[in-house]
Structure 1
Amino acid sequence: MASSNDNGSKPLIWGGIVLTIVMALSPLGLIAFIVLVVAGGAQACQPGGSAPSTSELSAEQSQNAATILGVSKSAFTDPSVQQKAQIVALIAALQESGLRNLNHGDRDSLGLFQMRPSMGWGTAEQIMNPAYAAGMFFRHLNAVSGWQGMEPGKAAQAVEVSAFPDAYAKWIPKATAVINDVAPTIQPIAIPAEVGWTGGSQDAGGGTGGGVQCPVSGDARALAGELVKAIDAGKLYGSTPDHLKEIRWVAEGKTVANCQIDTRILQIAVAAVRAFDKVGVSDINRRCTGQVEGAGTDSLHYKDGGGHAIDFFSINGQTLTGANPPSLELIRALDKAAPAEAMGLGQRQCRMAAHTQITFTHFVDFNDTCNHVHVDVGRSNL
């Protein structure tokens, strides 16, 4: 019986490398093709730092998948939470861009996840950095309450807010195959600082998804004291006119006419400061600063002594519109840490115009200008 090698190919062992000489006929005569195979394995070793190849993925797709997986390992340490985040991110990227770092898309959409600079996802240059894009995706995923317990497609939709919410689930088998194929070999990739990552939930059962980890006090001076520390650290900042002085007076125990702040508003401010690295607040008690604008004297910034509302204009350096991703992240964080059974939430028409889908438990929303996020307490119609 002829051996398996009596077929025109002859293996030679040399220094741990198998040289297979393949003999073939061509119009020019007999040609020998030399094929090098690493002895002891079917795949050649990958160069250090490069992405392992996966079946059915191009080199670009493999590298982008490796980046997403690497960033996930920096974001989440619990293995089950990490894997769930990986699946959600991969199916989102497969659907939105085919795992390609696109420099075009619908309107101003860019990158792996088709993020829009105009909607607060970052600059075009940042979004085109796959590590930044992955970090931003995980940051916004982490702000979705209970995402760990959601179906992956629904979790992806909660971040992407797509016009085709059912389009993600079909990618789960492919995402799972990619994770099984390459995730064990991927090293963690640092999350770029400009993402503003504040830490991932390690609760595989649903957890908090980031945000407030400690109970919020009901003591006004204690709350104001915590906020003053944030102000002094540059974590909480204001605008003109200055409403942060109202917080300082509460912390100092001073009673200043027309400058009081509802304790529940202080709780809301503390919840925001605990959930984000930097928080920008514009208006609190408009009686204190003499402002009569917006809803005028009917505004809860002014009504009943004022100080029953707070306006946020920026989160982690990103301007708020009431409908863009950082606005939604703030709304979700405050909804989870709600100090009141029902609160007023502005910018309803802004979210409707942007076709933004968000659900919440403790808010009743209404129309307001699209340059901030307004939250108030004490509405008679709540």
Structure 2
Amino acid sequence: MKFASRTRPAPDLPGTRGTARVDRRARALLSRLVPGDVAVIDLLDLDRATAQALVDSGVVAVLNASAMISGRYPNLGPQVLADAGVLMVDQLGDTLFASVKDGDTVRVDGETVHVGEGRAFSGRLLGPDVVRQLVEEARAGLSHQLESFTHNSTEFLRREQDVLLHGQGVPVPRTVIADRPVVVVVPGRDYVNELAAVRRFVADHRPVLVGVDRGADAIRQAGLRPDVVVVSADAGDDELPDPKTLKAARDVVLRVDRGANRHVGERFTQLGVTPLLFESTATTEDAALILADSQHARVIIGVGMHATLDEFLDRQRAGLASTYLTRLKVGPRLVDATAVPTLYSGRVRPRHLLAVTVAGLVALAAAVGTTPVGQEWAEALTSQLSSLFDQLQGMFQ
């Protein structure tokens, strides 16, 4: 990091101003952000989900002590921020946290960050063109990442073969899932809109609604009740659903690491919720898919989860192998929510049949009315109605 000369800021100085919100853990910071803030984080290779959450919070700039794009793989987060017009400066190093405190007023002018009336320092400015260039360069290094992924997949399958192949250790919820459709809502990209898009399917088929982490809150906000909520034992408070959502669900499944302390679910029991424990190293959303598949769901509709190559590689965490192998396991049953509106237009309801019947009768009457016999019927009917009207009028005079 290189230091710029000290300057005395003035109201008319150029750049983007905002209040700094500081936390090395980007996910922990999200609940404190308000529109106009500057997020100060330390996250190597910003992923799409975190970036979208930052955009939704209304930040004007993101300052990162680490590299937004390290070149290990083409992560999608920086492109999301660039498309939203959020200013990005990365590679600021540990001096960022030594110089910027929570609540400080910062001004970002190009690659230079000014803190109050004190020191200024600079990093790497990531504009849209720079982001595209770095992503393209990262694509060239994917071969090494794929080799690592192959090793991780082998290790994951070795650890979880009983769960994936035989369903051993998967809890049995009170909710009946067998031979029923299941909708799994994950707090991913566009998950709220996708949930709205499958609303007709939900109304017609009454599927089992499974909420993963904050996805359960989205189900409640849509006026529905989650049947099953799946959460992780190591999730932060900002990632857990609202306590009211947990209490409203018929089943709460807590994914815990193997060998976890038996008291790991105490914070849920304090809320009046007794969770079912699911020991696995799979991600929370994959645990939800495995649960639905082990209970023989007829079809699983995934809301907020996408399986494109870019989305898949963007994970780059222990859950990469988990997602890959889980998709192979549940593949025949899993349908992306974006395909549902195209494949399903809704059931035929009685009012639909009535409308078709009325339209057919009107068309038939119009066709008959154009024939000589139809015209005679129409004249006779008109004469009878006129006579009846005269009789009724005479009765009330």
The bucket for the TM-score relative to the shorter chain is under 0.3
Q: Which one has the largest radius of gyration?
A: 2
- Alignment TM-score, normalising by the size of structure 2: 0.25
Say which structure, 1 or 2, has more relative contact order (CA 8 Å, 6+ apart): 2
Which protein has the bigger strand share? Answer: 2
